[in-house]
Amino acid sequence: MIIITQLLVLILVILSTLLVVGIPVTLALPGQWEQSKNLVYTGAGIWAGLVIITGVVNSFVI
Q: Is residue 28 part of a domain?
A: no
Query: Using CA atoms, how far apart are residues 20 and 23, in angstroms rounded to an integer?
Result: 6
Question: Which range of residues forms the domain containing residue 14?
Answer: 1-20+40-56
Q: Is residue 51 part of a domain?
A: yes
CB within 8 Å of 8: residues ≥ 6 apart: 50, 53, 54, 57
Question: What is the value of pTM for the model shown?
Answer: 0.85
Q: Total structural domains in the chain? A: 1
pLDDT at residue 62 above 90?
Answer: no
Q: Is residue 62 part of a domain?
A: no
Distances (CA, A) of 46 to 8, 59, 62: 12, 20, 26
Q: Is residue 47 part of a domain?
A: yes
Q: Is residue 33 part of a domain?
A: no
How confident is the model over 20-54, as pLDDT tens digits? 999 999 889 888 888 889 999 999 999 999 999 99
Mean pLDDT of 10-28: 94
Q: Where are the beta strands (DSSP E) in 10-54?
A: none
pLDDT at residue 1 above 90?
Answer: no
Q: Put residue 25 in one of left, alpha, beta given phi > 0 → left and psi -120 to 50 → alpha.
A: alpha
